[in-house]
């Protein structure tokens, strides 16, 4: 059993928890909690750590696995939550390509520009899965999807929704137009989003929480849409806005009244 945070493995985990560059370097990220742990595809599972008590109570979950036991204090140090559940895993990064996302028939996609809030990104991924999106495309400046706060808030959707980071969103929009995927910029000066049709290839462009989409990216989109507001509310946060848009697309595509 590992009982000190000076252990080499524990030091590695601490680096992975805190540093996106280290995660990219090692091509590993952290997953903790029993629900998320059971969602990990077998081929991506790299290493499992558990507290002694948790291991004894959930031995069936770990059947056939090699588990490294750690003390409760060590588990508390490596966990990203206030009250650790007792299991943490190192997971290999998932691999998708932009081509994987764009080659699908009539895809429903989200394009995220410079989102910074981990909870927003995680919620967008989870809500997107619920609405049946085909993938998420993100600018390099968007928060790291492997940030522990992001992965935790996806509730497992990170393993099922394809995603990629790209260097140039403008080039991506051009590629979408060439493939008959209509790009819609969420913008205050757009038309009511319920008046558009999203039954063919669709990509919703969602901007930064504080500033929205940049003017440059908005100008490159084929259409501008908005979510009408009552009262003095000017806009919704990125996760809520994207949720309304993708569920409207789902409603139209499935013929739901």
Q: What is the pLDDT of residues 116-153, one digit of tens each?
A: 999 999 999 999 999 999 999 999 999 999 999 999 99
CA angle 189, 193, 197 (to 5 degrees): 130
Q: Is the predicted pLDDT of residue 256 greater than 80, yes or no?
A: no
Domain termination residue (choose one: 69, 92, 115):
92
**Residues 112, 139: contact at Cβ < 8 Å?**
yes
Residues 104 and 15 in one domain: no
Q: Domain boundary at 61, 92, 123, which?
A: 92
pLDDT tens sequence across 145-176 = 999 999 999 999 999 999 999 999 999 999 99
**pTM to 2 decimal places:** 0.93
Residue 7: pLDDT band with limits 50, 70, 90: very high
Q: Residue 5: its pLDDT value, please?
A: 92
Which residue from 116, 130, 98 is spatially nearest to 206, judged by alpha carbons? 116
Q: Give the pLDDT confidence score for residue 233 in this predicted structure.
A: 72
User: Does residue 80 lie within any of the structural domains?
Assistant: yes
Q: Average pLDDT, whole number, for the chain? A: 94
- Per-residue pLDDT at 255: 67
Domain that holds residue 38: 8-92
* Residue that has been written with the tokens 């998320």 in this structure: 36
**204: closest CA among 115, 144, 141, 143?**
115
Residues 88 and 102 in one domain: no
């Amino acid at each position: 059993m590992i009982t000190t945070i000076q252990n080499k493995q524990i030091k590695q985990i601490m680096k992975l928890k805190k540093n996106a560059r280290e995660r990219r370097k090692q091509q590993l990220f952290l997953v903790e909690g029993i629900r998320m742990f059971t969602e990990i595809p077998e081929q991506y599972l790299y290493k499992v750590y558990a507290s002694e008590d948790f291991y004894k109570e959930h031995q069936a979950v770990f059947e056939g696995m090699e588990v490294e036991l750690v003390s409760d204090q060590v588990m508390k140090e490596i966990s990203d939550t206030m009250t650790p559940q007792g299991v943490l895993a190192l997971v290999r990064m998932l691999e998708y390509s932009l081509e994987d996302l764009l080659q699908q028939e009539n895809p429903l996609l989200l394009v995220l520009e410079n989102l910074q809030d981990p909870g927003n990104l995680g919620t967008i991924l989870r809500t997107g899965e619920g609405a049946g999106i085909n993938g998420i495309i993100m600018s390099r400046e968007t928060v790291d999807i492997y940030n522990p706060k992001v992965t935790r808030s996806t509730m497992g959707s990170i393993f099922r929704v394809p995603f990629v980071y790209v260097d140039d969103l403008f080039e991506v929009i051009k590629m979408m137009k060439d493939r008959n995927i209509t790009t819609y910029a969420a913008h205050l000066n757009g038309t009511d989003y319920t008046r558009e049709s999203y039954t063919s290839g669709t990509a919703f462009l969602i901007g930064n929480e504080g500033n929205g989409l940049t003017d440059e990216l908005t100008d490159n989109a084929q259409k501008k849409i908005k979510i009408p507001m009552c009262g003095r509310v000017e806009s919704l946060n990125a996760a809520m806005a994207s949720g309304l848009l993708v569920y409207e697309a789902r409603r139209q595509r499935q013929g739901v009244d």
